[in-house]
Structure 1
Amino acid sequence: MFAVRKVLIVAPRTVAESTWQDEAKKWQHLQLRFSTVLGTPRQRVMALERDADCYVISRDSVTWLCEYYGYRLPFDMLVLDESSSFKNPQAKRFKALRRARPSFDRVVLLTGTPAPNTLMDIWSQIYLLDGGEALGKTITSYRTRYFRPAQTNGYIVYSYRLRDAKAEQEIYDAIAPEVMSLKAGDYLKLPPRIDNIIRVEMDSMAQKTYRTLEKELVLGMGTDDEITAMTAAALSNKLLQLANGSIYTDDGNTVDVHNAKIDKLAEIVEANEGKPILVFYAYKHDLEKLQQNFPEAKLLTGAVEMQEWNRGEIPMLLAHPASCAYGLNLQAGGNIIVWFGLTWSLEQYQQANARLYRQGQDKPVIINHLVTKGTIDEQVMKALQTKAAGQDALLAAVKAKIREYGGNQNET
């Protein structure tokens, strides 16, 4: 129809490297020409100067791109792949794209998790879509209209909640003319998904170490009225590390405590001999321990490993959910996932699982969760199962522990 001349596609780096280009090959009759705008500034400039229909750039280079063109971009259409990565209105990438938005006649946002934590997350995304028509020109006006403070110390507001029961529907009504939802289950015939919770038990010495650390950390935090998301996250991180098997000391060294999860993963590998396994880890010491115990494993760093995995050349692929949660097509390489380290982020969890459980998968997808008994792993797993927002579930878990130990710093 000649309504669009040049399209700018913004995506996570690994997705920008190959996913869009690989998918376009399946639509050869369209003869779309792609230019991949990655690499050094000089390489990016050369890619921008090529004659193409679609220019794919990493979201990390958006600010550079806007500054390079003086915020007057030579594209008439914008596609934001995984738009929830622009949910923070204070981020440089959002501010740069907000300033350059008048350059585009058409804007399309793509995401499987538009509001990963709360409906507060959709304001900046919808603003990039319509320039503020549906939800207001500023995050402050949006917040004032639909939300109220949920946690505050009198001066600083740590979190917000919806104003009342009607506010949620009012937001949906406001954005309804601009959005549509396509659920895979309604349009695609996917094989079954099997979720396994595999209980892992620490030895008695590790259990004692965990209980001692948990009590010391909890009692050092004061009463539950004083707990913020930041302090709760710090406690959670320590306990999650220990549940996985190791922990960082204050000076940055790693102390190995147990191998319960490593041993259980070895059992899974043995039971699925010859089948590729995608393992999600949480901490750097998790990665180091996995690489030591499974020398055949490869770390997912970019398109090369993704292609090798899909060709069946990698028996175990190690990935952090934050770095590979968006847009990667890994469904051709295997159908087994192991969560070695769990995450409070429902968005990362859902998106990471969707790397295998997606269109093109022809085998049942088996998702194994290694959950250490008697640890914070159990609270994280419960939050993921109930699809609770990560921060709220985290605070609730920590406050429950404070009440369990009495919340008295003088307690011995």
Structure 2
Amino acid sequence: MKFIPHNYQAYAINEVIEKPEIGLFLDMGLGKTVTTLTAITELLHNRFEVHKVLVIAPKRVAEDTWSRETEKWEHTKYLRVAKVLGPQKDRKAALEKKADLYVINRENVDWLVQHYGKDWPFDMVVIDELSSFKSPSAKRFKQLRKVRPFIKRIVGLTGTPAPNSLIDLWPQVYLLDRGERLGTTITGYRNQYFNPGRRDPSKFIVYTWEPKDGAEEAIHERIGDICISMKAKDYLQLPERIDNVISVQLSPKERELYKRLERDKLLEFDGQDVVANNAAGLIGKLLQLSNGEIYDDTGETVHIHDRKLDALEEVIEESQGQPILLFYSYKHDRDRILERFKFAEELNQDDSISRWNKGEIPLLIAHPASAGHGLNLQDGGHIIVWFGLTWSLELYQQANARLDRQGQKNSVIVHHLLVEDSADEQVLKVLQGKEQGQDALLEAVKARLEEIGNGS
């Protein structure tokens, strides 16, 4: 296929070529991969400015997306891709191959740095999903930081650089410019741009950091010369997305079990004990119960109801054979869905993506963490069902973008199976509101518990 770049892609390609360090904060569907591949071909074989390129990506993206995108386009299909994946002996063998691109999953960055040490051979590094390096304490960040001086060119790709807080930007930008713009330490960055928010004074722990007045504008100005931010809505004409809530009703007995767990943080049911030790544990247990099963203290499941399975069956019937992409939360959700719907398949087979895009899988189920980045599934369908929600805004947005992206020809319908008057509704409210992430959800739970305590 011949690649004719859109104007915004041509601009981004030129920026990657001209700037040795750059962050492409391109929204889902804007073609980050082909944009980067086009720049790589120019730098490798026309300008001879780089010689060995490493791509660091989420595991499934490393397995599929980069090699598939390379083969797809006329101007990149000659590129040789070595997948540095699997057991250690396979990774070592891949590194020995003559290739243009070496693709590794981010979990093996630590191993790769230790393998090469000061003999680091990659003069260009592409970090696909730069936001996965947002923790300065993570081993993958610390190890890549060690070899950053040996990297001549670096490209960071993400659609969500700071999904929960601007604090997340520092490690990502540091890998690009080694601290030139936002400082060389996370402490200095915090002190300059943030004030302590929610904290525990007795333990000297700060849970949240609030931006100082004007901090957001100042940060954006500081990084503006090396970071390009583009939103899909500004460049693409996508079919309208329709968000739909399917209300699921519990029986009086099931509702009583829910209320008892919410009130007492303890549930005794069929001789099994379910205990929630804190607010985070409680919200998790309530979400499990809403889905139909709940883990007890020994890790065994306690079956409560099949209300969401029944609701899913109705969605499947109404869809009249149109393929459905379903996201689940817990293993017991997956197991019950696969047991109930024998035609369902999990997104874990080598050919799952190609068969889905050919329309051969009527119900494809996936955990949002395993299908959140880089998978092009828009050719296989336009219906999404959330059996259970994630409280990560990043995962929620990225998962929906598997179908709601460039190339989609139909209006994407996103069904949310929500138990009425439950934690399900609180999670969706947080995801759709301005507040983001786990902290906002915990605050919602806290407020709910206070209402119960006051007898409302």
TM-score class, shorter: over 0.9
User: Aligned-pair distance for 1:231?
Assistant: 3.0
Return the alpha-carbon distance in structure 1 between the equivalents of residues 129 and 322 of structure 2.
30
1:237-386 equivalence runs, <5 A: 237-386=284-433
1:394-405 equivalence runs, <5 A: 394-405=441-452
Q: The residue matched to 2:228 in structure 1 has which SS?
A: coil
Q: Which TM-score applies when normalising by structure 1?
A: 0.93
Is 1:77 matched with 2:130? no
Aligned residues: 397
Corresponding position of 1:90: 137
After superposition, what is the alpha-carbon deviation per residue over 1:289-328, rounded to whole angstroms, capped at 9, x for unaligned?
A: 1111111111112542222212222111111111111111
After superposition, what is the alpha-carbon deviation per residue over 1:36-57, rounded to whole angstroms, capped at 9, x for unaligned?
A: 1112111111111111111111
Aligned counterpart for 1:169 among listed residues 217, 225, 234: 217
Return the alpha-carbon distance in structure 2 between the equivalents of residues 68 and 106 of structure 1.
21
Conserved in 2, the CA contact under 8 Å of 1:149 and 1:157?
Answer: no
Is 1:211 matched with 2:259? yes
Percent sequence identity over aligned pairs: 53
User: Aligned-pair distance for 1:217?
Assistant: 1.9
Is 153-162 or 287-296 further displaced after alignment?
153-162
Return the alpha-carbon distance in structure 2 between the equivalents of residues 82 and 302 of structure 1.
23
Q: Which runs of 5+ in 2 are unaligned?
A: 1-46, 267-276
RMSD: 1.6
Moved over 3 A (4+): none
Aligned counterpart for 2:108 among listed residues 58, 61, 64: 61
User: What amino acid is the match of 1:346?
Assistant: L
Q: Which TM-score applies when normalising by structure 2?
A: 0.84
After superposition, what is the alpha-carbon deviation per residue over 1:24-78, rounded to whole angstroms, capped at 9, x for unaligned?
A: 1232224322111112111111111111111111111111111110154211111
Q: Which runs of 5+ in 1 are unaligned?
A: 219-229
Is 1:125 matched with 2:164? no
Call closer, same or farther: CA 1:89–1:72 in 2, change over 3 Å. Answer: farther
Corresponding position of 1:157: 205
Is 1:201 matched with 2:249? yes
Call closer, same or farther: CA 1:403–1:71 in 2, change over 3 Å. Answer: farther
Q: The residue matched to 1:371 in structure 2 has which SS?
A: strand
Aligned counterpart for 2:87 among listed residues 40, 54, 64: 40
After superposition, what is the alpha-carbon deviation per residue over 1:175-211, rounded to whole angstroms, capped at 9, x for unaligned?
A: 1111111222222232221111111111111111101
Conserved in 2, the CA contact under 8 Å of 1:72 and 1:100?
Answer: no
Return the alpha-carbon distance in structure 2 between the equivalents of residues 168 and 369 of structure 1.
33
Q: The residue matched to 2:354 in structure 1 has which SS?
A: helix
User: Aligned-pair distance for 1:350?
Assistant: 0.2
Return the alpha-carbon distance in structure 1 between the equivalents of residues 379 and 443 of structure 2.
39
Return the alpha-carbon distance in structure 2 between the equivalents of residues 26 and 214 of structure 1.
52
Is 1:185 matched with 2:219? no
Conserved in 2, the CA contact under 8 Å of 1:346 and 1:388?
Answer: no
After superposition, what is the alpha-carbon deviation per residue over 1:238-268, rounded to whole angstroms, capped at 9, x for unaligned?
A: 1101111111111211111111111110000
Conserved in 1, the CA contact under 8 Å of 2:199 and 2:208?
Answer: no
User: What amino acid is the match of 1:180?
Assistant: I
Corresponding position of 2:64: 18
Call closer, same or farther: CA 1:339–1:71 in 2, change over 3 Å. Answer: farther
Corresponding position of 1:28: 74
Conserved in 2, the CA contact under 8 Å of 1:199 and 1:372?
Answer: yes
Corresponding position of 1:225: none
Conserved in 2, the CA contact under 8 Å of 1:12 and 1:58?
Answer: yes
User: What amino acid is the match of 2:69?
Assistant: E
Is 1:393 matched with 2:440? yes
Return the alpha-carbon distance in structure 2 between the equivalents of residues 91 and 253 of structure 1.
31
Corresponding position of 1:226: none
Conserved in 2, the CA contact under 8 Å of 1:14 and 1:302?
Answer: no
Return the alpha-carbon distance in structure 1 between the equivalents of residues 209 and 86 of structure 2.
41
Conserved in 2, the CA contact under 8 Å of 1:135 and 1:171?
Answer: yes
Conserved in 1, the CA contact under 8 Å of 2:133 and 2:141?
Answer: yes
Return the alpha-carbon distance in structure 2 between the equivalents of residues 156 and 279 of structure 1.
42
Return the alpha-carbon distance in structure 2 between the equivalents of residues 93 and 168 of structure 1.
27
Conserved in 1, the CA contact under 8 Å of 2:110 and 2:143?
Answer: yes
